[in-house]
Structure 1
Amino acid sequence: MQIRLIATDLDGTLVPAGGSTPERVLLTLEEAMRRGILVVPATGRTLTSIPPEISGLSGIRYIISSNGAAITDRKERRRIHETLIPAPAAAEILRRLSVYGVYSCAYIHDTVYNWSELPSFLSNYYKNLEHFHKNGKKDLPSYIEENGLDVEKLFVAVGDPDTRNMIRQEFGDLPGLHLTSSSSYNLEFNRCDADKGKALRWLCDYLEIPMNQVLAMGDNENDHTMLQTAGITIAPENASDETKLLVSQVVAACREGGTADFIRKWILDV
């Protein structure tokens, strides 16, 4: 099959939980790029928090970050597309979320901004809390509002499924917002026209690459729009059941490097 661009989620697709990307996967991506195929990370992370084994691949030029809110051209060292939540709207959402006893943070200009105090339940879900100690603010909504900081994404860590469902009910139909998730214990807010699928389509139009020549790989809800957009789609065995229903093929789990096996067999013919 003729594939000119591979758009790939990171966590759970290339990067296993608590580990690093298997060497075989990295070598396969490098071989694809040597053959002229663009490899585009499409992640919920900020640009600056992409794992070094991925960001260190010299052939990667374009990166979709914060669930599609930003697209960066690394060669030109500039953001070529962005879709942001206006500062007043982001601040209001953070204030409304505070009554639920959850933890929220904001992704702004490739940087994570947090509250200065962390709830104890975070350690139940995240082994490394370094991410949540960056740029702590006593009053995060006021900081965003007073400085006019438009937001790429609001990330919410939720301690129990009932609270998660209540937040979905309250915010799911809020005008101007897109609510998604990348795990069973988080929620993620973007502007309504910012998701991985829209970002991928924008980039492919920019590069004049038809969608039937795009392979997309993902494992969870925030990948669904991308998997519904690309011509060929795969998900690892560890993906959510809903995600598996959307793809052309389910491959071996992330930790086993199933994405590499698929690319080598069907794209690189090796």
Structure 2
Amino acid sequence: MKKIKMIFCDLDGTVFPIGSTQITPRFVHAIEEAAQRGCIFVPCTGRVLPTIPPEVLALPSCRYVIYSNGSATCDLNTGELFHQVLMAPEDTAAVLELLRPYDLFTELFVEGKILISRHCTEHMGDYYVPRHHLAWFEKNPSPGIEDLADYVLEHQVGVEKINITLLESPLREEIMAKVDQLPGVRHVSSGASNLEIGDSKANKGIAISLLAQQLGIPMDCVMALGDNDNDLEMLLTAGVSVAMANGTPAAKAAAHLIAPSCNEEGAARIIEELVLGQTAAV
């Protein structure tokens, strides 16, 4: 195995223990030790930028971040967007029209903001909303938008992704099948009951490949860690790919290696073993 020079790492279910959004001291130590050896750390998440915990972005080794399932790559030092792929307004409106008959908590991720309808704002207590999204809404109160489809068409808004929360089977499969019929968009998932819809050309695999190429790092010196189906392209692209023991069957099948679960500090342990050359402690 060639020396690993770059680590792309999913967050939820990979770094964060299940039910938490806190990075552990062991993971921080592993990442900073790797950085001392010249290894670049890049969070690669489905989250929108404002919902990534500040302690992750504040890590000294963290200069770049890939978010919204690979739709954007940001240089945190300059604020510059290195790479961005947005859903066309017409494609977003088509998805929203498809969803209109259903009563779903639907979010649009746009330019560092989360947009929701006025109906969802007024009835937020009736829906399941992830805690880190609730925290964003509490800090950024908004009356909501009367009609999201009309809004994106009128203002020609490019959307990073559409997020739908607490979508249980068989309704989830029904909506996925309908999305599959729309050109220009794709659906992925970062959890058992959510659905994320973005541009068909936006995925983590393309994003990590472009950034590694820009920084002159060959793909066989790149490691990627993930746990879910929105990580598949990243795991298939990286020279060394690691799925967590708590990952989906598809993620495990796409990876070269399986690490212990996120609840067992699996991400830190595999970095210690493969990058730092340590034997992972029990």
The alignment's TM-score, normalised by the length of structure 2, stands at 0.89
| Distance in 2 between residues matched to 1:34 and 1:182, nearest whole Å | 31
Question: Which residue of structure 2 aligns with residue 189 of structure 1?
Answer: 197
Q: What is the CA-CA distance between 1:129 and the residue it aligns to? A: 5.6
Change (3 A) 1:203 1:165: same
Question: Which residue of structure 2 aligns with residue 3 of structure 1?
Answer: 4
Range that drifts further, 49-58 or 219-228:
49-58
CA contact (8 A) 1:64 1:199 kept: yes
CA contact (8 A) 1:158 1:164 kept: no
| Distance in 2 between residues matched to 1:192 and 1:63, nearest whole Å | 20
> In the alignment, does 2:174 pair up with 1:166?
yes
Q: Alignment identity in percent?
A: 33
SS of the counterpart of 1:117? helix
Question: Which residue of 108, 117, 123 corresponds with 1:115?
Answer: 117
Q: What is the CA-CA distance between 1:58 and the residue it aligns to? A: 2.0
1:210-250 Cα deviation digits (max 9, x unpaired): 11110000000000000000011111111112211111111
| Distance in 2 between residues matched to 1:127 and 1:48, nearest whole Å | 13
1:57-91 Cα deviation digits (max 9, x unpaired): 02211111111110111122211111110122212
1:68-123 Cα deviation digits (max 9, x unpaired): 11011112221111111012221221122121222211111122111233365633
Question: Which residue of structure 2 aligns with residue 130 of structure 1?
Answer: 134
1:51-130 mapped onto 2 (5 Å cutoff) = 51-118=53-120, 122-123=127-128, 126=130, 130=134
CA contact (8 A) 1:215 1:232 kept: yes
Question: Which residue of structure 1 aligns with residue 150 of structure 2?
Answer: 142
SS of the counterpart of 2:167? coil
Question: Which residue of structure 1 aligns with residue 161 of structure 2?
Answer: 153
Question: Which residue of structure 2 aligns with residue 44 of structure 1?
Answer: 46
Superposed CA RMSD: 1.8
Residue type of the partner of 2:127?
L
CA contact (8 A) 1:114 1:132 kept: no
Question: Which residue of structure 2 aligns with residue 22 of structure 1?
Answer: 24
| Distance in 2 between residues matched to 1:76 and 1:218, nearest whole Å | 27
Gaps of 5+ in 1: none
| Distance in 2 between residues matched to 1:131 and 1:224, nearest whole Å | 29
Question: Which residue of 202, 222, 228 corresponds with 2:230?
Answer: 222
CA contact (8 A) 1:8 1:216 kept: yes
| Distance in 1 between residues matched to 2:206 and 2:181, nearest whole Å | 19
Q: What is the CA-CA distance between 1:174 and the residue it aligns to? A: 2.1
Range that drifts further, 78-87 or 241-250:
241-250
SS of the counterpart of 2:108? strand
CA contact (8 A) 2:89 2:157 kept: yes
SS of the counterpart of 1:137? coil
Q: What is the CA-CA distance between 1:158 and the residue it aligns to? A: 4.0
> In the alignment, does 2:277 pair up with 1:269?
yes
Residue type of the partner of 1:228?
L
Change (3 A) 1:34 1:245: same
Residue type of the partner of 1:29?
I
Q: What is the CA-CA distance between 1:266 and the residue it aligns to? A: 1.6
The alignment's TM-score, normalised by the length of structure 1, stands at 0.93
Question: Which residue of structure 2 aligns with residue 253 of structure 1?
Answer: 261
